[in-house]
Structure 1
Amino acid sequence: MFSWRGRPLTALGPSDVPLPGPAQLAIARQILSALDDLENAGIVHGFVAPDTIHWDGSQAHLVDFRWARRTGAKRNFARRDGWAAPEQHDHTGAVHPGNDVYSAAVIIYQLTTGEFPDEAAMMRQRLAARPGPLQVIFADAFADRAERRPSAATMLARLPVDDLGEPRRARRARGDHQARERYRALRERQRAYHVQLLEQQRANSRPRPRAPRQPPAEEPRPAPDPPAPEQPPATETVPVRDDTWPPITFDAPPRQPVARSSFLPSVSGTVLVSAAVAVVTVVIAVTLVLKGFA
């Protein structure tokens, strides 16, 4: 994909045409100079149109040479747009530098007057209705036959030094009118801005209605547990004696009598204690006697 400087002339809006005098003259000179160089090289661009002329504010560039042919070569395409020469409406005949001169003349005329292109006969009528330097510049440029049109070098020599033929007084009046229109448009934008600013200030000074407070959203409560099934009250089980049961019997061996010793007299407890005291008294007495003899 190619990239060229500036924008095509098709990007100009209706309010941009006609262009100021210096821009008109710069575009006309540079395009005609480019066509003169192509003619000297024996090349015909073949598709000079607002799409193929780029303007960056100071220089015009002729671009897109896809349809370029050698001078005298057979024409292999047709054009029917408003900037095409009459002989380009069909694909017969040979290419000629006059094809490019016609297209360039229509474009320069449109940038100068603001009028849209038309057929060659209508363009000649429009030019005849504009007496002055324009008739000299575009003389025979809208001829039906390419051989009768001037060369790019001839048209370049016809261009004036400061403007494309617009009288200085008319140019000044047009400039003053455009300046007044721009001033009026600027004032209208300023008034609209001030009105909008005032309305915004009034709107901000008014108390704003407060929105009703919304109660806080309640959190969903967990579902209660299902009630436990009722249990019957616990009752204490008391064993009930049933006398009707059969008596329990144990098959234990019979109790045998304890045999008493033959040397243990059968006496009571008091007698046993008295006997023990007597024995202890005798032992003590014997002990004392034995100590006295010793």
Structure 2
Amino acid sequence: MQRIAHTDRARRELERTVRTADVLVRRLGVTRYPPELSRVVGYRPDGRAPYLVATRRGRPLADMGDRLPLEAGELWAVVDGVLTVLRHLGDLRLVHRDIRPETLWWDGATVQLADFALVLDEGEPRGAAAGADPWRSPEQAKGQGRADCRDDVYSAGAVIFHLATGEEATTAADMRDRVRWLDTTLRNLLDGVFTDEARHRVTGYALRLRRDARTGRAGAQGPGPAAPPRLAELEQQARQHFRDLRARQRAFAQRPPGPAHIPPERPPGRPARPFDRQAAVVSMVLLAACLSMLVLFVSVLN
């Protein structure tokens, strides 16, 4: 896909997309870049018509409008792909802010997220309203506070609801009522998604655990049996998730300093803190968080 910027706004969006593309490659690495995220393969930021070229897989979900609601088999395959996208964004601590049927592409096997023109790091000020109705969350519509990965959970939930029912999302309060009338599997998955504030919303990782508990195995397609995964499987998933987080943390910490991220000078006489000690502390915190989530999830299953 080639995108050409003809207006000042398009130029700013192109520049942000290029910066985000650089962040993705540095944090993920070239060999571990997931197919669920679109990748910029070339760009020219200057000249009369700046442009970029990015990968795309399949067609946007918006093209499925005449086939909605989707058949169960295809629906759950797409849902699994959307949840994988949310997990990648959560691991990277990036907030896409524009998840909708036009930016989610499907090739029959993989869901890919495209268009990173509005991306913020989690914790950055939202600054202004972003995204498009009816997919954006209430906090994105207000443009207040700080970006949260759970902003994208709301948008992804609205897309899943749309694919499953053929209807578009409305207000958060109305969506909470409409979710109650869905079938059990969808109702359980979307419970806690359509909240008025991000801090009260479930995380993308929690949605992935719900889905895995329903299927009985990670990444399965279709509603599947109701048997929950065994404790050993949950522990293995938690450990793998922790290893992925650590690998991406190391890649981020070792990134070369760019012009927009020049570290401040250290005051004279103040020794530098060794990275190994900092990494050890962060590792213990992440491990404790993963194990706490595992214990909580097992207690809910029991």
2:77–2:222 contact (8 Å) kept in structure 1: no
- Which residue of structure 2 lines up, in the alignment, with residue 34 of structure 1? 85
CA gap 1:131/1:51 in 2 versus in 1, 3 angstroms: closer
- Which residue of structure 2 lines up, in the alignment, with residue 59 of structure 1? 110
- Which residue of structure 2 lines up, in the alignment, with residue 143 of structure 1? 195
- Which residue of structure 2 lines up, in the alignment, with residue 74 of structure 1? 125
1:59 offset after TM fit, Å? 1.4
CA gap 1:126/1:164 in 2 versus in 1, 3 angstroms: farther
1:20 to 2:71 alignment: yes
Cα distance in 2 for partners of 1:41, 1:117 equals 27
Which of 114, 129, 152 is residue 166 of structure 2 equivalent to?
Answer: 114
- Which residue of structure 2 lines up, in the alignment, with residue 243 of structure 1? none
With 103-112 and 126-135 compared, the bigger mean Cα shift is at 126-135
Superposition map of 1:1-294 within 5 A: 1=2, 2-14=54-66, 16-78=67-129, 79-130=131-182, 132-159=184-211, 160-161=214-215, 162-164=221-223
Uncovered stretches (5+) of structure 2, i.e. residues with no partner: 3-53, 216-220, 227-302
CA gap 1:80/1:38 in 2 versus in 1, 3 angstroms: closer
Uncovered stretches (5+) of structure 1, i.e. residues with no partner: 168-294
1:141–1:150 contact (8 Å) kept in structure 2: yes
Taking structure 2 as the reference length, what is the TM-score of the superposition? 0.51
- Which residue of structure 2 lines up, in the alignment, with residue 184 of structure 1? none
1:33–1:153 contact (8 Å) kept in structure 2: no
With 16-25 and 128-137 compared, the bigger mean Cα shift is at 128-137
| Counterpart residue type for residue 102 of structure 2 | D
Cα shift readout 1:212-263 (whole Å, capped 9, x = no counterpart): xxxxxxxxxxxxxxxxxxxxxxxxxxxxxxxxxxxxxxxxxxxxxxxxxxxx
CA gap 1:147/1:5 in 2 versus in 1, 3 angstroms: same
What SS is found at the alignment partner of 2:102?
Answer: helix
* Structure exhibiting the larger radius of gyration computed from Cα positions: 1
Cα shift readout 1:33-74 (whole Å, capped 9, x = no counterpart): 121122122111111111110011221101111111100101
% identical aligned pairs: 32
- Which residue of structure 2 lines up, in the alignment, with residue 222 of structure 1? none
CA gap 1:97/1:35 in 2 versus in 1, 3 angstroms: same
Q: Calculate the aligned-residue CA RMSD, in Å.
A: 2.1
Cα distance in 1 for partners of 2:88, 2:183 equals 31
1:128–1:135 contact (8 Å) kept in structure 2: yes
CA gap 1:116/1:166 in 2 versus in 1, 3 angstroms: farther
- Which residue of structure 2 lines up, in the alignment, with residue 219 of structure 1? none
| Residue-pair matches, total | 166
Cα distance in 1 for partners of 2:81, 2:71 equals 16
Cα distance in 2 for partners of 1:114, 1:28 equals 15
1:22 offset after TM fit, Å? 2.1
